Chains A and B, each alone.
Chain A
């Protein structure tokens, strides 16, 4: 469960203050898959990074699974991100010198609450990654990299999945497959999934669609 209470984010630019996210109160329940749409520069990424404990709000409270994250120290925030948040980023978040399989081994060495080996095999199979398990990121395509990033985000069993354009580099077939997997994971494991996207086809897989315009979050469905 993810909750924003009167959250506001202001950036300073010289003498100017820019309100990236205006005062927002919103709550996303477990099992909900949310689409967040809006034009570039509207504050979507700022919203997402506050939800992911990567930056703190100027005002208000962000609550993850009942835990106030505003005011936590950097070590606790890192632990929260590792245990509770699964990031799927636009930029590849893969370690360049680790093979696909080793990317998961690294997480396994760091985090105890992870998928079983069978679950990982199934996930890799569903994402058509089994054959590239031993390849380095530099040896696989952009679409495969994106799917590995998605598998990594799901591997640590996070309660919240934050995806920034997760299907941007995928063809339609793979994009739909990814959305089905995200949707299934969200429902079966009671996660909260927030997807920032420009692709309107993805909204079909979501329970609610929010639109961000000039820092104001509005529900559209």
Chain B
């Protein structure tokens, strides 16, 4: 490490350029991971808050909750814990702001209801509680919401923690309210049943219903998987490209030092010591680069407009940083191989 560190200190410009490349790569990688996470959350945030094991929907609904209709009497008391779900996509407006939203009709005390963080719970018909993303979009408590597909109006009485679903904000209401908005969702019909029961696979249901594990349901949300795969592929390719770029840079640096390594070998420094020096240098360069990249990413996150769905998962970011360091170390193995091949006799002339 002594050799590696002192070379960096004495060649600040050269190593600044390499560190700069690592910063840019890690910055792009961490921003992408934040965007991927944010985009995924737009779809599944509310579903994850349910902490559910499975969801029951109509077998003919092509795994689309809004197209599904289930009779309450067919699934009554079937699972350890279960919650009825009625949902309706709407376009809401408070005259200043317009937004896509999904209304959930819930039973009182339903575990599908997130924690209230501001205002009061709905008590009467046509009262709703919005998720926090609506407040960030410009809606307030007391707002009267007009709906594009109904003559009814809704009044916001409070906000829950952020809970987005299928890239839309959520409005929570009682069953009576949603039934007024969509008369199809009568007292004895629901769209889906959300289940908390580890034994859900063993519960028998009629043939016209299917039960999906909650992870499978999330994956089948419209657009979720293609988005996730696209971003994940970008991240994987970025890893491969970054390891190659860093590896090539370090290889060129190593080639420039062939005669020095030869002289050091002639003096008795082992291949192992020199290889550790090369790897140590890679570690220092990538650690500095990724840490600065992390700082830049977090700083960018502060200044990005709320419309950009960026959300940082710190554990994922740390894992990505570690993977970046490891792939860079793998890239520098080419340099290690070239160090092994240096003939001290040739190097000293």
The residues of B that contact A54 with a CB separation of less than 8 Å are 266, 344-345, 348
- Judged by a CB distance under 8 angstroms, whether A174 is at the interface is no
- Judged by a CB distance under 8 angstroms, whether B76 is at the interface is no
Indicate which residue in B10, B265, B267, B268 contacts A97 across the interface (CB closer than 8 Å).
B10
Interface residues of A in 100-131 (CB under 8 A from B): 102, 105-106, 109-111
Known contacts A75-B270, A81-B268, A110-B273; decide if A93 and B6 are in contact (CB<8 Å).
Answer: no
- Judged by a CB distance under 8 angstroms, whether B271 is at the interface is yes
Are A81 and B7 touching (Cβ within 8 A)?
Answer: no
Known contacts A54-B344, A74-B271, A89-B348; decide if A105 and B266 are in contact (CB<8 Å).
Answer: no
Are A136 and B10 touching (Cβ within 8 A)?
Answer: yes
Interface residues of B in 262-288 (CB under 8 A from A): 263-273
Are A91 and B348 touching (Cβ within 8 A)?
Answer: yes
- Judged by a CB distance under 8 angstroms, whether A170 is at the interface is no
The residues of A that contact B260 with a CB separation of less than 8 Å are 95-96
Are A98 and B6 touching (Cβ within 8 A)?
Answer: yes
CA gap between A95 and B271 in the complex, in Å: 16
CA gap between A98 and B11 in the complex, in Å: 11
Interface residues of B in 304-349 (CB under 8 A from A): 344-345, 348-349
Indicate the member of A80, A93, A96 with the most B CB atoms within 10 Å.
A93
CA gap between A102 and B3 in the complex, in Å: 9
CA gap between A78 and B265 in the complex, in Å: 7
Known contacts A54-B344, A97-B6, A97-B10; decide if A89 and B266 are in contact (CB<8 Å).
Answer: yes
B contacts with A: majority SS: helix
Chain B nearest Cβ from A39, distance in angstroms: 18
Query: What 1/0 flags go to B1-29 for Cβ under 8 Å of A?
Result: 01100110111000000000000000000
- Judged by a CB distance under 8 angstroms, whether A85 is at the interface is yes
CA gap between A89 and B9 in the complex, in Å: 27
Interface residues of A in 57-101 (CB under 8 A from B): 74-75, 78-83, 85, 87, 89-91, 93, 95-98
- Judged by a CB distance under 8 angstroms, whether A25 is at the interface is no
How many of A's residues come within 8 Å of B, CB to CB?
30
Query: What 1/0 flags go to A43-63 for Cβ under 8 Å of B?
Result: 000000100101100000000
Are A82 and B268 touching (Cβ within 8 A)?
Answer: yes
The residues of B that contact A55 with a CB separation of less than 8 Å are 345
CA gap between A87 and B266 in the complex, in Å: 8
The residues of B that contact A49 with a CB separation of less than 8 Å are 345
Indicate which residue in B3, B268, B348 contacts A79 across the interface (CB closer than 8 Å).
B268
Chain A nearest Cβ from B184, distance in angstroms: 77
Chain A nearest Cβ from B128, distance in angstroms: 68
CA gap between A82 and B11 in the complex, in Å: 27
CA gap between A79 and B64 in the complex, in Å: 71
22 pairs, CB–CB < 8 Å, chain A vs chain B: A52-B266, A54-B266, A54-B344, A54-B345, A54-B348, A75-B271, A78-B265, A78-B270, A81-B267, A82-B268, A82-B269, A85-B268, A89-B266, A89-B349, A91-B263, A91-B349, A93-B267, A93-B348, A95-B3, A105-B2, A109-B2, A152-B267
Given A54-B345, A109-B2, 5 more A-B residue pairs with CB atoms under 8 Å apart are A54-B266, A55-B345, A98-B3, A102-B6, A110-B269
